[in-house]
Amino acid sequence: MAKKRSMDTIQKKDAKASFIVGLGASAGGLEALQQFFQQMPANSGLSFVVIQHLSPDYKSLMADILGKYTEMDVRQAENEMAVEPNTVYLIPPKKNLTLKNGKLMLTEYIHGTLNHPIDVFFASLAEEKGGKAIAVVLSGTGSDGTSGIKTVKEHGGLVIVQSPGTAKFDGMPRSVINTGLADFILSPDEIVDEILNFSNYPDLIRFEDHEVFLSDEETFSQIYAILKKASGIDFTNYKRTTVMRRIERRMVITHRVSLSDYVKMLGENLEEGNILAKEILIGVTNFFRDAAFFEKLKYHVIYDIVERADINEPIRVWSAGCSTGEEAYSIAILFREVLEEMNIQRDVKIFATDVDAKAIEQAGKGVFTESILEDVSGERLAKYFTKKNDQYVISKEIRRMIIFAPHNMLSDPPFGKLDLISCRNVMIYFQPVLQKSLFSIFHSALKSGGYLFLGKSETAGEYSSVFKPVCGAEKIYLHKGEGKVDEFTPPSFNIPNVNTISPRIASSVDREGAEYAFENTYIHFMENFLPASVILNEANNVIHFFGNYQDYMSIAPGKATFNFFSMINEDLSLVASTALNRCRSEKIAVTYTGITVDCVNGRENINLTVSPIYGKNKADTGLIAILFMKDEKIEMEGVTEKYDVDKTSARRIADLEQELHESQNDLKSTIGELETVNEELQAANEELLTANEELQSSNEELQSVNEELYTVNTEYQQKLDELTMLTNDLSNFLSSTMIGILFVDSNLNIRKFTEYVGREFQLMDHDVGRSLQIFAHSFPAEDIIKDAGEVLKNLVPIDREVTGMNGRFYTLRIAPYRTTENNIRGLVITIIDSLGAQK
């Protein structure tokens, strides 16, 4: 473990030049953060930004909690807050956090959508700080942070991951580890030492030292020789500044303070050579990287290629420098979409190559983490991927379109007759001499009218006579086969076991065309003249037929299948199964002679041979050849036995018993795994219990709020009871007097009346709301409606004696109805029996 360095020099650094540490954490991350800040000095000169997954409705207490473990100032981030050294910043709930011009920028995220706040911040951190960015991924579930660390790595930053063994939840750490881009996998307290070492290291190498290093031909020649021995790649013409930056990073990580010390270690440690080579190649890629570029590629290139393609010839595409395959799969998806949208069928072959054999092996699996959700739309994800556990597997229809192979584009022969070459973000690492060679290779490999697709920092503008811009901003070029460039010389390549053909005699295009035609002729010959035989893959599906195989195999009725055992003659099923199992287990060819088979033309005696197919350098391809021979005399290495049904049956039974035993062991293993999963579920259940306790606490808070609402409701109910009592008292008071009262609104519609006045106007209860104008009254000499209008107009009450139809005298009063706010809301019409009042 590295010792902590003195902080004196770091403290003097300008804040803008200081390192920024981004810490991504989710479930179980609190404990890791506590351990980290407990070990981190308060005067390191570093700035820390903690990105957590927070509930949008939860008021975070993280500032108070972490404040107990560090003397640094712990703040919740605010929009446009300047980043200062020796300070910890926390992401607030319901926000995404980015870094721009030394300030923290907050943006709302849409609740309910996929959101990876750690990836968002890491990407901005890499863009802002470059080699001074430090990304740390701590405990958590899912894959947040995986995409972000790729950007950090690409910009020369440091990537550190908490070791899964120390993390409460290892989903996020393992997702990053699987990319192969992590510089360190450490416990939280060990992470502190490496961060301090990384941040302090640049003070040990001065600018003048870089100049000396860059001009030291002898040292670099030694490094290049070691790298070529370790990886097989010649880095001589790679940009020296790029190589130097990668070497310096490895010096920091391996704690070497001098270049000579590092070169010595490099020569003694082959694994370090492989790591440095991988660092220089830095195979970082994503699906649909620069999405707008791929959209242009689809509508301006792929549509054109498909429309012009001959139905009898395959469309040929080369994805050069494909790394882990995302670019090749992206192009395949675009071709599949175009074919479906145009409703036509075409054979598309995509050759995806890279010098990194491990990257090619990973690409061939077609398995990706959840981090692709940021780059692949939901529609494409559902259509072209299958989710298995926490991973996404590319569909078979897309995988079949691509051939992955290790390939050095500068020394190995290129592919020919190509419709499209995609070589993105590769040439930026090459010196001009290599770039020129590469354009020469592309010129010879592309069809006239083919397309070249480059990265956004690359250009073919220097060779406009050969590569005409189609979409300049998106770096898409049309190849003009008749164009010439004086500097282009046809390259020569290393072809194993074949004498190098002079470029003057045959160009790469001619050679590819000849090889392609020869390949078709060769396959046609074998299909017709070889003995009856088939080729099986690992799933026992037939992938190629040769000769007159129909006597021994036939397509079974029902759902179409190429499974070998669904097609084989019944008389051959047992012996073929036994031979196939023996061939796979012993890795040798197995031949059984004297097998009697009922064929269409009668009974025949044949020999059956099952042989493994090996690739280059005896590599196991997983393919098996099965030959049905009647009169052919073909000597095969391996085991040859006379077919005996009893002996073969006994051997097959023994094999099946062995398979059953292995299956039982697998079942036991699966049961053990299930028990482990059950323990994890129990742990999850404990977490759910904790969450339930938190929910119970929230429920108590809601209960408190409910009690307050209940109190308010009780107060309102009491007020309502008082108003009801007051209304009853008023109604009883009015009905007990000999006074008739009529309330009307401003339109003379009846609002309320007492029983006494109802008799004078012939009103019933259901007349409330009707206009007073339609009712007759007991005072024929009075125009009450006209008087009411005058009072509404002038707001002057009318008070006079009137005579009813019964000859009795009444006091009539019409006055405005005033509210407590002194608003006029209608009239009050009062009728008092003068005689009754006197009595």
Residue 112, C-beta contacts closer than 8 angstroms, at least 6 positions apart? none
Give the span between the Cα atoms of 644 and 571, in whole angstroms.
Answer: 13
Instruction: State the pLDDT at residue 503.
Output: 36
Strands 798-803 and 809-818: antiparallel
Instruction: State the pLDDT at residue 696.
Output: 59
Kindly provide the residue ranges of all beta strands, DSSP E only, lying in 547-694, ordered along the sequence. Answer: 590-599, 602-614, 620-629, 639-642
Active site residues: 26, 53, 144
Q: Which of 749, 753, 751 is nearest to 785 (CA)?
A: 749
Per-residue model confidence as pLDDT tens digits over 702-761: 544 444 454 445 445 556 776 788 878 877 776 776 678 888 888 889 888 877 777 777
Q: What is the mean pLDDT of each successive set of 10 residues along the chain, which is 839 residues long?
A: 38 54 85 88 90 70 80 89 91 87 85 76 89 89 83 86 88 86 87 86 48 63 78 72 78 78 80 78 79 90 90 89 89 93 90 86 86 84 85 89 86 84 83 82 88 86 85 88 65 44 37 48 56 86 84 80 86 86 86 84 85 78 86 69 75 72 79 80 76 62 47 52 78 73 87 77 82 82 85 88 82 85 85 62
Sign, CA torsion 108/113/116/120: negative
Instruction: State the pLDDT at residue 419.
Output: 92
Residue 747, C-beta contacts closer than 8 angstroms, at least 6 positions apart? 771
Type and span of the H or E element at 447:
strand 446-454
Instruction: State the pLDDT at residue 481.
Output: 76
Q: Do residues 551 and 579 make contact, with C-beta atoms less than 8 angstroms apart? A: no
610 exposure class (CB count in 10 Å sphere: 0-12, 13-18, 19+):
buried
25 exposure class (CB count in 10 Å sphere: 0-12, 13-18, 19+):
buried
Instruction: State the pLDDT at residue 311.
Output: 85
Task: State which amino acid sits at residue 277.
Answer: A
C-alpha to C-alpha distances, 422 to 175, 186, 201, 256, 451, nearest whole angstrom: 28, 38, 38, 38, 8
Instruction: State the pLDDT at residue 505.
Output: 31
Instruction: State the pLDDT at residue 121.
Output: 92
Give the span between the Cα atoms of 556 and 569, in whole angstroms.
Answer: 10
